[in-house]
Structure 1
Amino acid sequence: MIDSPASTAPVLRVDAVDLVRDGNHILHDVSLTVRPGEHWALLGPNGAGKSTLLGLLGALTHPTRGTVEVLGHQLGRVDLRQLRSYVGHVDPRHGLRTPLKVRDVVLTGLTNTIELVPRRHPTPEQVALADRLIDLLGLAERRAARWPTLSQGERGRALIARALMPSPRLLLLDEPATGLDVAGREQLIERVDTLQQTHPELSSVLVTHHLEELPPGTTHAMLLRDGRCLASGPVADVLTSDQVSKCFDHRMRLTRSDGRWSVRAHRPPVP
């Protein structure tokens, strides 16, 4: 049985973590602490180790060295399968094979399964919760739509609603805007921002390599390069032109307007 830790305790604590696979160092001496109500972004180029770190945070794997605590429980001393049910993990590569309706996809979040569990029937209260989350994620008119007919953006929002069904204290988003057009991306960001405002107790970690995909409510960021942390802390301290340029090995200029970031290549003045 997993007891919920005190609400003031860190939601995540990563201390001096290394992760080695087949002799290759994927993560080097990474540390991170996420507290209740904080919304973190993990940023870096392809191959930086972002999704690998997110897998540790979601209790999907163990570190080679160092310690990882998720919701107050140290990996290696807790049943990972049970712990995962308390973490909302959103992966756009959702392996659903049957044409479930949106509401049924959301209800699979109760059992943390891809498909509906046979002979298991949700309560009226659980169905009502699913409908509220569907409405919150802007899918009210698509409630009865089947999975194959959804756009990539609609699928992403449905998976967020699914992840919220067990009322987790932690939401992990692995490149949720992958494959979306501009309209789909903006709809997704708007709904994630609304979620952060309506669920003040929720913490989140979002993986991306595009700063334009960060919701305005992002509070903290970590820059990763080659499996190492280059900078970590409040967004105003971390997301600077100099540090992002170093992370991506290209001179860039960052601007922020109405809470959203944009990036342009730095162009020296013409003599």
Structure 2
Amino acid sequence: MCEYNEDLLIDFRGVSFIRGGKTLVGPVDWQVELDERWVIIGPNGAGKTTLIRMASAEEFPSSGEAIIMGERIGRTDMRDLRAMIGVSSSAVGNRIPPTEKVGDLVISAGYAILGRWREEYDTFDESRSEEILRQVGAWHLRERTWGTLSEGERKRVLIARALMTNPELLILDEPGAGMDLGGREDLVAYLKELAMDPDAPAIVMITHHVEEIPEGFSHALILDEGSVVAQGLIDDVLTSENLSTAFHQPITVDRIGDRFFARRA
């Protein structure tokens, strides 16, 4: 039985996830502290989304010991844990009706619903949603409906919604997917500001592309076929050798300023 460390938001010891007799992830040892910003990278099918579904209390591990926010999975109400975790993912976006107004989508996150029905919100809720929409550069979208937004605009709104509950842990599942170059760079710039903010929650972000990793991210974990290739401080992990191993081809990684760039060698 592992001891609880109050500085750890995620504490996985020998965690595995098995479905249909196939091991999708694990066994994995992984710890995330309060002030860390993690990126998880790997090829399609590596198990990235499965890993963060366990980290966001959406899935139970098949084996091992998983402690999230000090609570051991399997011995606590998962709904209470989810309330402390902000998640921005395409799975959330796919459930949003196209007629939902952006302002309602964000403010209703505090009530664990998608959009507004007959609820009345207090002044604090209204001011917090306004503050967050301004932070992510989406205040001008507040009266727009979900179905009229571009991919980049949707990603900003989903992040705003994830931040509305003032989470201790923010999980971003491929926030740059589907964006054009300009949209991606706008998002990376915002995520840099968020990562550098000492009052921001711990962040775990999934991506396929090292170019999408903002300055300020401190740690990285590389997955391949459900197993950890490398994890630790980002400069030690994002190497040509490690990425070549994960993607099964010769990859060269360069660092220009505070950004990473990768190409086939």
User: What is the TM-score when the length of structure 2 is the normalising length?
Assistant: 0.94
Q: Distance in 2 between matches of 1:201 and 1:106?
A: 18
Name 1:175's counterpart in structure 2. Answer: 174
* Percent sequence identity over aligned pairs: 33
The answer as to whether partners of 2:39 and 2:217 remain within 8 angstroms in 1 is: yes
Instruction: Report the CA distance between 1:201 and its aligned residue.
Output: 4.6
Q: Distance in 2 between matches of 1:195 and 1:98?
A: 28
After superposition, the C-alpha distances for 1:63-118 in whole angstroms (9 at most, x for unaligned) are 110011111111101111121011001112311115122211111210122232x4
Letter in 2 for 1:141: H
Name 1:164's counterpart in structure 2. Answer: 163
Name 2:51's counterpart in structure 1. Answer: 53
1:184-263 aligned at under 5 Å gives the runs 184-263=183-262
The answer as to whether partners of 2:15 and 2:26 remain within 8 angstroms in 1 is: yes
Name 1:33's counterpart in structure 2. Answer: 31
1:75-90 aligned at under 5 Å gives the runs 75-90=73-88
The answer as to whether partners of 1:36 and 1:201 remain within 8 angstroms in 2 is: no
Name 1:110's counterpart in structure 2. Answer: 110
**Unaligned segments of structure 2, at least 5 residues:** none
- Over 4 Å off, 4+ runs: none
Give the count of matched residue pairs.
Answer: 260
After superposition, the C-alpha distances for 1:198-245 in whole angstroms (9 at most, x for unaligned) are 353510110111111111111000110110001110001101111111
After superposition, the C-alpha distances for 1:107-131 in whole angstroms (9 at most, x for unaligned) are 1210122232x43211111111101
Look up the SS of the partner of 2:176 in the other structure.
coil
The answer as to whether partners of 1:92 and 1:178 remain within 8 angstroms in 2 is: no
The answer as to whether partners of 2:41 and 2:223 remain within 8 angstroms in 1 is: yes
Instruction: Report the CA distance between 1:164 and its aligned residue.
Output: 0.7
**Unaligned segments of structure 1, at least 5 residues:** 267-271
Q: Distance in 2 between matches of 1:262 and 1:223?
A: 16
Look up the SS of the partner of 2:51 in the other structure.
helix
Letter in 2 for 1:162: R
Name 1:17's counterpart in structure 2. Answer: 15
The answer as to whether partners of 1:37 and 1:203 remain within 8 angstroms in 2 is: yes
Which has the higher mean CA deviation after the structures are superposed, 50-59 or 246-255?
Answer: 246-255
The answer as to whether partners of 1:253 and 1:263 remain within 8 angstroms in 2 is: yes
Q: Distance in 2 between matches of 1:173 and 1:113?
A: 19
User: What is the TM-score when the length of structure 1 is the normalising length?
Assistant: 0.92
Name 1:269's counterpart in structure 2. Answer: none
Instruction: Report the CA distance between 1:28 and its aligned residue.
Output: 2.0
The answer as to whether partners of 1:68 and 1:75 remain within 8 angstroms in 2 is: yes
Letter in 2 for 1:243: N
Instruction: Report the CA distance between 1:258 and its aligned residue.
Output: 2.4
Letter in 2 for 1:111: Y
Pair 163,199 (structure 1): closer, same or farther in 2 beyond 3 Å: farther
The answer as to whether partners of 2:17 and 2:25 remain within 8 angstroms in 1 is: yes
Q: Distance in 1 between matches of 2:139 and 2:205?
A: 25
Instruction: Report the CA distance between 1:57 and its aligned residue.
Output: 0.3
Letter in 2 for 1:34: V
